[in-house]
Amino acid sequence: MAEMEFPNCFEPYLRYAIATDFKYFESFDDDDFRLFLLVEFKDARHAAQFEKEMTAMDDNHDGKPGIEFGPAHRKSRYATIRCFKAAVGPPTFGSWNDHVSRVELSLPVRPTAPQLIRRAVLRDRTASVYRPTDLLIGVIDDGCPFAAAHFVKSILGVAAGTRVRGIWDQNPDRNPIRVDSNTEFGELLSSDFNYGLEFLRDSEPPSPGVRKIGLNEWINLHSTAGSVNEDGCYAEAGFKTLKRQRSHGAHVMDVLAGRVPISSRIGRRDPPSWQSATDPAASADVVFVQFSEDCIRDATGVWLKSYVVHGIYYILSFVDPTITRNVLINVSYGPTTGPHDGTAELESALTELVTIFDGSPGKPKLEIFLPAGNAYLSEGHVVFERTSTLPDHVDWTWRIPPDNSVLCFAEVWMRKNDASGVIVTLTSPGGLTSSSTTGPIPPPDGIPFPSFTGVYAPREWGDNTVWLLAVEPTIAHSGFVPEHGHWTIRVDGVGVNAKVHAYVARSDPNLDVRSGARRSYFVDAEWERTRSAEARCKYGNGEFDKAGSLIHRNGNLNGIATASVPSVHVAGGYILSNGRKSPYASAGPARGGPRVGPDYVLPCDESYALGGIRAGGNRSGAVFRLAGTSTAAPQLARQVAKPASGLPFPPPTNVPSSTDIVEIEKRGGGNIEPP
């Protein structure tokens, strides 16, 4: 299929997936499997007409799109859609062009039952045995130790089960756990999201048929004399992440809503106090959304879009408008790719959600918290600005590791007005060449399998133009195996005063994932040859000099954290012992966008020698250190939760001068003490 046939609203990864016939997406080896899309309509009213046209194709066309809308607010321009591959085939292109501004593919995708449902309505989950708290905390992550002692709900000093109101496990292959002939634990979300398994805190009352028991009753089934068998509790429920002693989600959830706050776990001049907290977050209800295993295995983060939007709607379904005043949601994930100017589709969807749920009468105030990212030292961002004294081309090295089990992606971005006539070329270590005008590298003679390694045609995306570069896995297998080593990226035809930005998609594994994936990164070979020795003799403010290199440490914020919206907060990290930015913590600015740097920086390391912040693991009493701005975002959320109840928000320290743009890019409004 020729590139020019695609609707303009199709984003580069969706185009790549279609061009490769979804070769690297395991979910697409069967015709019953579905795509998962985040769609931005030209107007909220276009959604109904789009659905009508697609439904007509289901009735009249052999290749049925099978469009299935996820829950969405009636005023929202954004919707999640699951569909068959036919929904992005040529017969549907007219509908996409007429009604849709942007559509992005969420990866990875898993199979679902091939049934067609209309636009879903959120189920009401506001009912609870206990009165809901006016603050609702949402965590979208990996690992929820709901039975741990630090998440026990206390009423008048008496333990009353877990504070977790609900868990949505997004793994699509999950089924309810049969306790006995009349009882099950877990419920399929067939009434709204139509995938995954839901676990509510409260049990159903006795009734004819199979009764659904809740988290509290499940915990009691694994308790003896007041002691909970947490190993059995999690294992028998099929929570695989909780088999280990630690998980990313357990740490984040404890930082945000645990009984012992970070300030009580840190020893400065004295040992930690381990004093329990009395702040609102320490007793608030929690709703947890568990990402699927396939998602966590994919470190690129390009799959986040639809899963995060669904997760937020799920958390909001627990809101009682007469009681719930504030909803704080933490998402400690994000990609390293994207436009980085505040216009990514997920960023726009988050902006719309906090605008709709603004605390006006009948609505809670929604606030979302994101980490700045950990890409400062990842060598994954190139910046080239051409002046009249420089040539109209630039090149650098993309270092691809050997025996890498996953795809490596990179993106080149320019302003649309500057991109006319620009050609991007990718050359392998052995001299094989692909360009944005010729397409992927052809396989060697005698290899019957197509190659999908190379540069893909540029796509206009808003005010930008983006080129997608892909290198297939370098681990040995049948067919064409790309070389590992030094690949060269070259950009020709750059006009005077035009800027080129390039970003590497993260590929190194997430916490405790064993995938065989390895990190790729950029190298400025000329700078390394002529300037690196001198630069390694210049050390200031905790950093070696990088002046003159195409590789930029700044401007590598989390790819969904570059907009500037009051209720979407971005947290960077600093070292407690000296107040400096944590070495890995990403910095601004956004690429021509509104955000200069993170809002604030929160503690991510106690010292250079004692990295990370200590918080809870998957079992009661277990703690471990997690380094990264993933721990900064929930700390900021916990601090923001205090003013909601009239408690003071601590003033920042080490506040950069209004004229010190470099420090603002790194530390935003300054350092915030741990909650």
Tell which residue, 554, 623, 628, has the closest CA to residue 591.
554
d(CA 55, CA 48): 10
Q: How far apart are the first and last CA of the chain?
A: 55
* Per-residue pLDDT, 156: 66
* Per-residue pLDDT, 62: 67
Tally of helices (H runs) and strands (E runs) in the chain: 14, 35
The Cα angle at residue 549 between residues 547 and 551, in degrees rounded to 5:
115
Query: What is the number of alpha carbons within 13 Å of residue 372 lying toward its C-beta?
Result: 39
| Sign of the alpha-carbon dihedral angle for 147, 149, 153, 155 | positive
Q: For the chain, where do the domains classified as CATH 3.30.70 start and end?
A: 3-105
d(CA 663, CA 395): 29
* Per-residue pLDDT, 68: 86
| Sign of the alpha-carbon dihedral angle for 630, 636, 641, 647 | positive
Task: Report the b/e string of 454-464 with b at 16+ CB within 10 A.
Answer: bbbbbbebeeb
Task: Report the b/e string of 523-562 with b at 16+ CB within 10 A.
Answer: bbeebeeebeeebeeeeeeeeeebeebbbbbbbbbbbbbb
Burial class (CB in 10 A: 0-12, 13-18, 19+), 218: buried
- Listed as ranges, residues in the chain with pLDDT below 70 are 1-4, 25-33, 59-63, 107-121, 156-157, 269, 478-479, 644-647
Phi, psi of 469 (to 5 degrees): -115, 135
pLDDT tens-digit profile of 115-148? 333 445 677 788 888 899 999 999 999 999 999 9
CB 441 within 8 A of CB 433: yes
pLDDT tens-digit profile of 480-512? 789 999 999 999 999 999 999 999 999 888 888
The reply to whether CATH 3.30.365.10 applies to domain 381-544 is: no
* Per-residue pLDDT, 451: 86
Answer yes or no: pTM beyond 0.85.
Answer: yes
Helix (H) or strand (E) holding 49: helix 46-60
Query: What is the number of alpha carbons within 13 Å of residue 167 lying toward its C-beta?
Result: 30
d(CA 591, CA 568): 18
Residues in CB range of 404: below 8 A, 6 or more apart = 473, 474, 475, 484, 507, 516, 517, 518, 520
CB 563 within 8 A of CB 345: no
d(CA 22, CA 251): 35
Task: For residue 108, say if its preceding peptide bond is cis, omega within 30 degrees of 0.
Answer: yes
* Residue type for position 264: S
| Sign of the alpha-carbon dihedral angle for 375, 377, 380, 383 | positive
- Rg over alpha carbons for the chain, rounded to the nearest Å, is 25
Structurally, at CATH architecture level, domain 3-105 sits in: 2-Layer Sandwich (3.30)
Task: Report the b/e string of 62-79 with b at 16+ CB within 10 A.
Answer: eebbbbbbbbbbeebbbb
d(CA 280, CA 637): 11
Q: For the chain, where do the domains classified as CATH 2.60.120.380 start and end?
A: 381-544
